[in-house]
Each structure stands twice: as structure tokens, then as C-alpha cells.
Amino acid sequence: MTRTARSGRRLAAIAATVAVLATAACSAPVQNKGDDSAAGGATSMLIAADNGSPTFDRNFNPYSSGKRNTTTYMYEPLVIINEMSGEETPWLATGYEQPDAKTVVFTIRDGVKWSDGEPLTAEDVKYSFDLVKKHPEMDLKGAWSHLKSVEVDGKTVVAHLQDEDVPAAKILAQQLIVPEHIWSEVKDPVTFTNEEPVGSGPYTLDEFTPNQYTLTKNETYWQADKVAVEELVQPAANSELDIVNNGYDWAYAFMSDVDDTWVKADPENNTYWFPAGAAISLIPNMTKAPYDNVDFREGIALALDKQVIADKAEQGYVDRASQTGLMLPNQEAILDTSIPNQGYVDQDTDAALASFEKAGYTKKGEKLVDSSGKPLKITITTPNGWSDWLQGVEQVKSQLTAIGIDVTVVQPQAAAYQKELRTGDFDMIMGTVGGTGQPFQDYNGLMGSEFRLDIGKTASGNFGRFESAEADDLLAELKVTTDEAKQLEITHQLEQITYEQLPMIALFYGGSWGLFSNKNFTGWPSADDPYASPKTWDSTPLLILTHLKPAQG
Amino acid sequence: MADTTADPTTTATPAIADPESARGAESVNGPRRPARTRLGRTGQVLGRAFATVWANPKARVGLVILGMFVLMAIFAPLLAPYSPHDDSFGRNEPGSAAHWLGTTGAGEDVLSQVIYGARVSLLVGFVAGGLSTVVAVVIGLSWGYLRGWGNDVVNFLVNLFLVMPGLPLMIIIAAYLQNGGLPMIILVVVITGWAWGARVLRSQTQSLRSRDFVTAAIFSGESSARVVFREILPNMTSMIAGSFFGAATSAVLAESGLSFLGLGDMATVSWGSMIFWAQNSMAILTGQWILLFAPGLCIALLATSMTLVNFGVDGLSNPRLREGTGR
Amino acid sequence: MRYALRKLGLLVLTLWAAVTLNFVIPRLMPGSPADAAIAKLAQNGPVTPSVQAAIEAQLGVPGGSIWDQYVTYLNNVIHLDFGVSYTFFPQQVSELVAGALPWTLIMVGAVTVIAFVLGTLIGIGAAWKRGTWMDSLPTVAGSFLSAFPYFWTALLIVFFLGYVLGWFPTSGAYSATAVPNLSWEFLGDVLYHAALPAITILITSLGGWILGMRNTMINTLGDDYVTFAEANGLRGRTVAIRYAARNAILPNLTGFGMALGGVVGGSLLVEQVFAYPGVGYLLFNAVTNQDFPLMQALFLMITVSVLLANFLVEILYGVLDPRTRR
């Protein structure tokens, strides 16, 4: 799937140092844009949206986990959801309605053409849903865990749901649509690599080599007038060092000392925006003592100075996270203002000790001990090689040690970590919480009893095995309510529960590492105009690509 | 100069250098000596062995470097200006009076980390090198001496371990033995590292097997095990020492490689993990090239010192390899 | 003949054991391919339960009991069918390996042969001229260079030759815009890109061959038959090449057999640093992503080549040195 900042950092770390050195001096003909691209005149854009490993496979199947990141610049969804705020932008659908909690009706946009000239119809939409029903391994958005059937009614597509399931609309809306006239000819769509993609999006595939490919503007695009960039150039090698030295226009990468590296490379034009993503949290195993004790969890939360942890882990690029589970400030609109201090839990050693005492741990000398005098020992699991998390955990360890807890940090390899997370094989484990911008999704994944499985069984949510009848009732209600005011009210209550019951201990926000250059194009998302996440995969880049303007030179 | 030191040692260590006469005859006919004198003799032999190694100029350089690293590791708390984990300094600072080699991306003192890093590298080198040498000696010698199907079985085992690709195998074992920290790395290095030494020792055993003194021992009715460990083993001291230093060298390199790939214990300060963190914080981009250079140079110097010592060790039982001896 | 047959039987047995180990070892790793893929996604942000389900359906948990899997695996190995890669889904493993192998063979394989030949020759020279600077220079330099960690040497080479001097490109197997073909121009591009990784391997592996050859050579030079040959008035060079070197090369040859087979595994770090699209890089990807099919194929390829190389060397040994046949 998508190459991530962190894995990029880890795996490409080696190539990284090398590459900067390399590219600064040597004349690797990666660039298509040399000195001719004086400010304002360029129509081509160099992006680091996709990483070769080390070269590119030609896979543009939008339903494949191994697809090229830019596949989503060619295939579009019905609605684009900005996961930072939950804001929706109608796309291939002009909108959708929920006449009742079991039905979603999408109105399909008129005048949209596939890049081969054929019109995009409601039939294509139905076909795309049915295709992933037939091949569940292609159902990357999970549409059919909600859907019962899909039918076409003129220009609309009616989705019948399995149950009363209001939040499902947002999941269905993100389904990528493919042309039936092409895909119905494909023998095995699962292993189809779609080397000559025909899509509806703003770009089509131009040249492809294993080391670099280019996308050119789709002149028949339904909002072609909004697309200012004529060509996207995507090299396979784009380590952090390449990015700094090669004059990229848009890159997604964690950049050490960004002011001293990326910005310094072109102080006039280079900017960055690292908005908050899902909260990186400590997930306690709530089937075990003492982690099942809310006082104990509160003690841990109070014992930590989360801003210091955030600074150590992410070099001061992100802030501590709110214990409500929301991504602030982007989700401020749905924050319950009655929660003190926006849900930020400040470090308070005395209060922490008081909480630990309620949980049965008292201070004896330098150590916290239980009633039998045994010192408190906890183990924190974090994946090996995710260096920023490790730095955060090391800080957690030193802060908890200071209050008198023996902390052991274990670092299994990523896959083993994932297995331990899912099967509940941990005391406390690092994990991401929330982040879809959809309250039902986020809180259900955090606390929903539907995901709570016995220890040893592979869960796909609620990894801490949190149990709360109150939360379950609220989630069930949120699932069937179409009334927006009611939705907000329930969301507030879920925030309260998260804040008070601590199903996780929120530490800091995972960042989205957007690096932009204003040299050739302007209109990038920013803190002042947070219309999209800076990420380069999934559908939100379409918002950016239709938002950019040529720079005034 | 080398000539003069070489001569007396040759005659002074007959047990090692001239097995056919002294050792063979003694074991076959001579009575067992009392333990105390044997111990004293061992000390004497060791001293002479050291003198022989020291006589070799290359080995002398190696011993000095190695000694310096050992001292650095032992006295790290005294030598290092700060704790290697103290991250309270500014990030990515260049060299200054307070931080001679600057600070890391996390705000730790580079010099302190380099000094403490010696501990991990030496520990892994010596322990892993020692263990894999023991395994190599036991298996290599029995293999070289055994005939028939026994030989084939050992041959089969060693081949199996030799053909499994080392580094990838290490990565997999490291993934399997997660959370082990240093003992895990040592174990991984031993598992993947003993086979080579065993093979080398086998060849030597095979060639010694046909020597007269072994034949003599066999005819006098000694057991196979005794022949192998009493007659053949002492004649391979230098080879064993050599394979120890060889194994230690590759253990040091393996540890650094694993750490560099991010598969070691990243919270431990070792030279390999320093390079990992340097890469991770893009040290070159932020002008911290010394972060990358210093630990790498230390690894190279440590490994070189052991290779150099090996030149002297080679001369122990094999006067032909002694420095300056003409043909 | 019996000697060869016994070795052949042993070869087949070892082959089977290696193939079985290839099956077992990857499965000892904790976590499934789906776990690895989800973890990779989780670095980006939340992975919703439905996405996890889809990934599990796509990558799956290998079906059937372990025994069934093993039988299927053996059958596939015999037919050289390794299935579909998890990491690079839906690419065929055989295609991936076929795509990566040439780069490694050309670059790493050729350099290993060069390093062996060069190192052996220098070793012979050093032993012959021992005690002079022609001995000490290559031996000391060789031991210093071979002590460099692979990846570190690679970084230094890149720094000086790639960055400071700017002579060579530092990543990839050929230029970004080049399309692989059989023209001289492309060949030149490939050689140009192979330069730095090749130099790295040459530098770090040369020392070992020099030292090994020098030491065995010095040993043989002292043997009776060499002295005898010299006493008989044969010319020095004839003695060195005809008598001493021919015998001394045997142990080095063993090492060469091993090294040639180990080329693939050994190139891992170097290919990592240079983002060289060879087998080493592929292997690292496979291992870190729990890509069982890809891992199995690569391990098998490596073990088979090492085994074959060893087998040939042993046969050769038997021919050259009749004593070992006993």
C-alpha cells in the first residue's frame, strides 16, 4: 500500500544519506524540469507521492493493495471526505440522501467521461460495488460489511443496507468507481494490474519506466478548468535527501529539522504543514489487573507530560493529544466544551499518586508498591524500527520511572507487534486511535463491543478490550440516528466517556508531513486553509490537485 | 629484530611448534604430570605465545588498538563526559567545547555515545566470537577426524548451516527472538557464524590426521576422542585463536549491520545503532556527518585490530608465517 | 566414482533439508503477512476494521494444515512455481526474481569473480615477496579494508565519489528515463550505475582473498616438495606458480565456492544503500514484509546455488587432492 513517512524513514533511511549526497552533485537525469522552470512558467510538477522499492511495479488496479499511490489520481470516489475535519466534498456524486437509516441514495454527476471518451453512468457505479462484492479481497473500503444490495434508478444509485446504519453512507461514498466496459472484460480482476488505466480522474498515465513515471492532465476531465498542473513527474527514488536537493513541488516525508533542511533549500518558496492526525496512544490491556482499573489508567495519564513526549518523538512538530480522542484543533467543531481544558490532561504528580493510591499502589521509598509491598512493573510494547514511537516510549519510560514504576520496553518486529496488538498479548501497547474524522468509526473502533474478542483471538478494533454498556448504547444509537443535532449530542457523550474512562491514554498526534513549494504552484493546504490533508495517497489529493494555481511570476 | 625474537620462541615452545617430537612422544609414553606443574606450564606457554604475537609488528599495532578499545569500554563512565542516554542537550549541535563531536538528532552527546558504544561491540565480539569458536572447534575437529557415515552426518549439518544465507537468516531469527536485546544478537551471530570456522578446522584436522604423531597415537590404542582433543587440538591452537578473532570480527560487523538495518535493540547505544539513528535523523543533511563517520571508523578500527592480531597468532604454531622469516 | 556418488547422495539430502528449512524458518516469524501489511498501513494512520478484513482476504492466511502447506510447497518447488508475492501483490514471485537476478549476477557476481582473481594473484605475489613492502602493503591495507562494515564503506564511497567528486550516480541500476534495451548506450548506463556498488564490494572483499591466499601460499612454500623443487634448480617463478600456488589455491577455492553462492545474501546491505534493484534488496523487502512465497523462492535459490558451488568444489578437490577422497 502506501509508503508511509515512517516506513519510508526506516527502509529508505539507508538510501537517504546517500541520495542527498548524490543528487546534490551528480547529474542524475531525474528531473524533467531544469532551469527553464522559472517561477510562474512551469506546467509540470515534481512530486514525491510514491516510492519505488527500489523500482516501480506497473500496478494501477485501484482495488489492489500493491497499487501505485497515484492510482487514486485517476480513479475517483463518489464523495471525498477530509478526514481531518470530517468535511465532505461531492465528487462523482453530486450528493447523497438518507431517506431512512437503511438506505443511501447517491445522485451521480452528469457529463463525466472516462478517459477513453465513454460516459460514466450510474451503471458503472453499481458495477463497481458489485465487483468488490464478488471479490471480497478487493473490498478495501469494506462496503459490503454494510451493504445488502445496490440498484440503479435513473441517475441515482440506491444502496440498501443490512441494518439501520447511518454512518455507512460515508464508507460507501469513498468507493472508487471503475468503468464497466473495461473491467467486465477482465478475467481475474484481483490479480489484474491495469497497466493502461482508463479512469475518470484529472490525470492519465503517460510514460512509465520502473524508475520514473509521468501522469498528464486528462483534457476531458469534468472539471478540467480547475486543473492547473499539466504533468506530474514521479521518480522512484525520492529519499528525504532527494526531496531537499531536487526541487520537489510536493512531497510527503518526515523531515528532520525541517527549517534547516527543506525550508533552507529554497527559503523563498518552500513551506510545510504538519497537521495533526490520529492520536498516538498507550492502549492498556483492560482484561488484566491493574490495567482494568480506571484509577490506575488515570494515574498513568496524570503522571505523563505529554508535550515533552510529543517533542521528543516528533521533534516538536506535533502537539500533545486531547484525551477526548478528537484531532484538535481540526475537530474543534464537535468538541464538547464542557470537558475541562479541551480534554488535555496536564502532568500532575500529586494527583497521579492519589490515583495510584486509589488503585492500591502506594509510594514506598522511590517505588510504587502494591498492598503486599511488591513494586509496580509494567511492560510497554512498541514496534521495532518505528523510531519516533520508540523515542516517545523512552520518554514515557523515564517519566514513569520518575514516579516510581518499573517500565520495560519491548520492541517486536512490526508484524509481530500487529499480532500482539490484535490478539491482546500485551500490558500496554502503543497504537493509533481515531483518525478517520468520522465519530462513529473512531469511537466504535476504540470502544465498540462488536470488536471485543477474547484474548488470543484476532480482533480488528477495540484492542484494549474495553467494556462499557453505556458506550455500546451510545454507539448503537449513533448508528441509527439521521438527526445531526442528536449525532452531535451522542458524540459529546462519547467524548466524555473517553475522557473519564480512559480506554486509551492519548499521548500525541501523529503528524501528516506535507512539504510544499510555492515556486511553481500555489494554493497548498495550510493551517489557515485546511481544506485537505497533505497526504499523497487516497482520494484527498484530488482536492489539492483541483485547488492549485500557477504561481504568479 | 623480528628475526632475533623469532628464534628463541621457536625453540621455547616445542609443544606447539614442533608437535611431532615433543608432544607426540610425551602423550604416548610419558607419565601424566601433576596438575600444578601443568598449570604453571600453561602459564608459561601463554606468556610465550603472547611474546610471539607481540614480536609481530602488525600484531603489536593490533594489540595496542584492541587494548585501547578494551580500556575505553571498561572505563567508559570515567571517560565519557555525559551519560549516553542524556538527551537534554540541543539537537544536531555541531562540535563545541562542551560536545567535542556535537550532539545527535535526539540531543545526546556523540562522544559519550561513541565511548559507551565500545562496550556493546566488544561484548558482542568477544562473547559471540568465543561461543561460535567453541562450537566450531567441537564440530570441526570431530568432523575432520570421523570417517564413514559420522563424517557424512556432520558434513551434512555444517553444509546446511553454511548454505543458509547469513544476513537474511539473522534478520529472521532476530524477528523470531524479539525482545532479546544483546543476548539475542549474540545468539543470532553464533547460530549463523560457527559453520565457517568448523569447516576451516576440519581441513586442518584432516591434514594433521595423516601426520606421523597421530598415526603413532592411534597405533598405541588411544581412543578417537583422545586423539582428537589431546593430540590434534593442541596443534591447532593458533588456528583456533585465529578463528576466534575471525569470528569476533564478523560478530562485531554483524551486530553493526543488524543495528544499522534497525533490527537490533534501538534503545541500546552501540556503534551500529548510532549509525542507524544518524541515518534516521538525516545526519548528513543537517551537517552532522561526524555522527555517521565516528562510529563507523570505530567499528572498522576494532575489526582491523583483531585482524592484525591474527597475523601474530598465525605465527604461533606456524613459524613459517612469522614476520621476517625467510623462506 | 563412488566418491562422486556419495557426494551426490549427500547433495540431494542436504538439498531436501535446505528446502524444508526454507519452509519452516519463515513460518517461525511471529505475525502473518496480513499483520505485516496492516502494520505498514497503521504507520499512516488508522486502519479501519473493514480494511483489515479486506487485506486479510487479499493476502490471506495460507490455507490448510501445515502439512498440506508443506506438500503443496514441495510440489511447487519441484515445478519451480512459487506463486504470487504478498509484498508486490499480484506479481508472480518467479517474475520478481527473474527481474532482480540479472542485476545481482552482473554486478555482484562479476565483482566477486574479479575480487577473487585479483586477490589471489596479489596474495601469491605477497607471499613470494614476503618481508618486503610488496608483502606488507597489500596485507595491512587488505586487513584494514576488509574490516570496514559493508554499509559504511558504501556510504563513504557515495560521499566521496558520488557527492564530493560527483563522478558516479549513487542509486538505481540505470537512469530514471532510460528504457531497458540491448543498445550500447544502455549498457554503458548500466555499467556507470554499477560502478559505485561494485567498487564497494571489491574494496571490502579483496582483503580476505589476499590474506587467505598469502597465508596458505607461505605454508606451501615451506613444504618439502617446494624446497626440493628449488633445490633441483627450478626457476623461482616456476616453483611459485607450478608447485606452490597450485596447491595453495585449494583452500581459497573452497572459500570461493562459498562466496559465489553467498553473493546474493551478501549483497543485501550494499544493494540497500545503493537502492540497487537486485536480489538482496528484494530479499530484504520479503523478510521485512513476511512475504513467505518470495522468501522461500529467494532462500531456495541461494541455498541451491551455494550447494551446487560446494558440490563442484568438493568434486574438484577430490580430483586435485586424492587424499581427501578417503
Asked if A414 is an interface residue toward chain B (Cβ–Cβ < 8 A), one would say no
Bridge partners (DSSP) listed for residue C92: C84
Is A455 inside any structural domain? yes
Q: Using the beta-carbon criterion (under 8 Å), do B262 and A10 form an inter-chain contact?
A: yes
The CATH number linked to B166 is 1.10.3720.10
Look at residue A108 in the predicted model and tell me its pLDDT. Answer: 96
Is B64 inside any structural domain? yes
Is A74 inside any structural domain? no
Residues A93 and A131 in one domain: yes
Using the predicted structure, report yes or no on whether residue B238 has a pLDDT greater than 80: no
Look at residue B40 in the predicted model and tell me its pLDDT. Answer: 66
Domain that holds residue B73: 45-83+108-318
| Beta strands in B268-312, from DSSP E residues, in sequence order | none
User: How confident is the prediction for chain B on average, in pLDDT?
Assistant: 75
Asked if B22 is an interface residue toward chain C (Cβ–Cβ < 8 A), one would say no
Kindly state the cell numbers that stand for A188.
481475474
User: Quick check: A261 and B286 in contact, CB under 8 A?
Assistant: yes
Is B185 inside any structural domain? yes
Residue of C nearest to A420 (CA): C31
Is A194 inside any structural domain? no
> B278 vs chain A: nearest CA distance in angstroms?
9
d(CA C42, CA B180): 25
Is B165 inside any structural domain? yes
**Which of these three, A124, A155, A183, is where a domain ends?**
A183
Considering only the beta carbons, identify the residue of C18, C28, C269 that sits closest to B163. Answer: C18
Look at residue C151 in the predicted model and tell me its pLDDT. Answer: 83
Sheet holding A147-153: strands in order across? A93-97, A103-108, A156-161, A147-153
Residue of B nearest to C321 (CA): B207
Taking alpha carbons only, the member of B165, A382, B255, B189 closest to residue C284 is B165
Kindly state the cell numbers that stand for C159.
560521499
Is A189 inside any structural domain? no
**Other CB atoms closer than 10 Å to residue B157's CB: what's the count?**
16
**Which of these three, A151, A183, A215, is where a domain ends?**
A183
The CATH number linked to A503 is 3.10.105.10
Residues A411 and A480 in one domain: yes
Residues A207 and A146 in one domain: no
Q: Say how many domains are in chain A.
A: 3
Look at residue C44 in the predicted model and tell me its pLDDT. Answer: 67
Residues A518 and A499 in one domain: no
Q: Say how many domains are in chain B.
A: 1
d(CA B128, CA B109): 28
Look at residue C124 in the predicted model and tell me its pLDDT. Answer: 85
Kindly state the cell numbers that stand for B165.
544465507
Is A15 inside any structural domain? yes
A171-202 b/e with 16+ CB inside 10 Å = b? bbbbbbbbbbebbeeeeebbebbbeebbbbbb
Residues A351 and A375 in one domain: yes
Per-residue pLDDT tens, chain A, 553 aa: give them.
Answer: 333 334 333 333 333 333 333 333 333 333 333 334 444 467 899 999 988 778 888 999 999 888 899 999 999 999 999 988 888 999 999 999 999 999 999 999 999 999 999 999 999 999 999 999 999 888 888 899 899 999 999 999 999 999 999 999 999 999 999 999 999 999 999 889 999 999 999 999 999 988 899 999 999 999 999 999 999 999 988 777 778 878 899 999 888 888 888 999 899 999 999 998 889 999 999 999 899 999 999 999 999 999 999 998 988 899 999 999 999 888 899 999 999 999 999 999 999 999 999 999 999 888 999 989 899 999 999 988 788 899 899 999 999 999 999 999 988 888 889 989 999 999 999 999 888 888 999 999 999 998 888 888 888 889 999 999 999 999 999 999 988 899 999 999 999 999 999 999 999 998 889 999 999 999 999 999 999 999 998 999 999 999 999 987 6
**Which of A281 and C93 is assigned the larger pLDDT?**
A281
Chains that touch C (3 or more CB pairs under 8 A): A, B
Is B89 inside any structural domain? no
Residues A142 and A168 in one domain: yes
Residues A351 and A397 in one domain: yes
Residues A392 and A485 in one domain: yes
Look at residue B319 in the predicted model and tell me its pLDDT. Answer: 65
Residues A232 and A91 in one domain: no
d(CA A417, CA A430): 9
Using the predicted structure, report yes or no on whether residue B322 has a pLDDT greater than 70: no
Q: Which residues contact B41 (CB under 8 A, 6 or more apart)?
A: B33
Residue type, A546: T
| Mean pLDDT to the nearest integer, B275-292 | 79
Asked if B143 is an interface residue toward chain C (Cβ–Cβ < 8 A), one would say no
d(CA C270, CA C152): 9
Q: Using the beta-carbon criterion (under 8 Å), do A17 and B178 form an inter-chain contact?
A: no
User: Quick check: A296 and A290 in contact, CB under 8 A?
Assistant: yes
A424-434 b/e with 16+ CB inside 10 Å = b? bbbbbbbbbbb
In this prediction the pTM is 0.82
Is B103 inside any structural domain? no
**Which of A151 and C214 is assigned the larger pLDDT?**
A151
Quick one: angle between helices B166-176 and C279-288, nearest 10?
A: 10
Is B169 inside any structural domain? yes
Domain that holds residue A123: 79-183
Look at residue A224 in the predicted model and tell me its pLDDT. Answer: 93
- List CB contacts (< 8 A) between A511 and chain C: none
Look at residue B41 in the predicted model and tell me its pLDDT. Answer: 66
Residues A162 and A299 in one domain: no
Using the predicted structure, report yes or no on whether residue B9 has a pLDDT greater than 50: no
Is B31 inside any structural domain? no
Residues A121 and A207 in one domain: no
| Mean pLDDT to the nearest integer, B209-224 | 78
The CATH number linked to A158 is 3.90.76.10
**Which of C304 and A462 is assigned the larger pLDDT?**
A462
> C18 vs chain B: nearest CA distance in angstroms?
6
| Mean pLDDT to the nearest integer, B30-55 | 65
The CATH number linked to A19 is 3.40.190.10
Residues A214 and A314 in one domain: no
Most confident of A201-205, B8-12, B254-258, C32-36: A201-205
User: Quick check: C118 and A93 in contact, CB under 8 A?
Assistant: no
Express each pLDDT in B92-113 by its tens digit.
788 888 888 888 877 889 899 9
* Cis amide bond preceding A329, omega within 30: yes
Residue of C nearest to B61 (CA): C140
- List CB contacts (< 8 A) between B262 and chain A: 10, 13, 384-385, 387
* Cis amide bond preceding B234, omega within 30: no
Q: Using the beta-carbon criterion (under 8 Å), do C45 and A209 form an inter-chain contact?
A: no
Is A86 inside any structural domain? yes
Domains of chain C: 2-78 (no CATH), 94-325 (1.10.3720.10)
> A257 vs chain B: nearest CA distance in angstroms?
7
Asked if A22 is an interface residue toward chain B (Cβ–Cβ < 8 A), one would say no
Within 29-88 of B, beta carbons closer than 8 Å to C belong to: 58
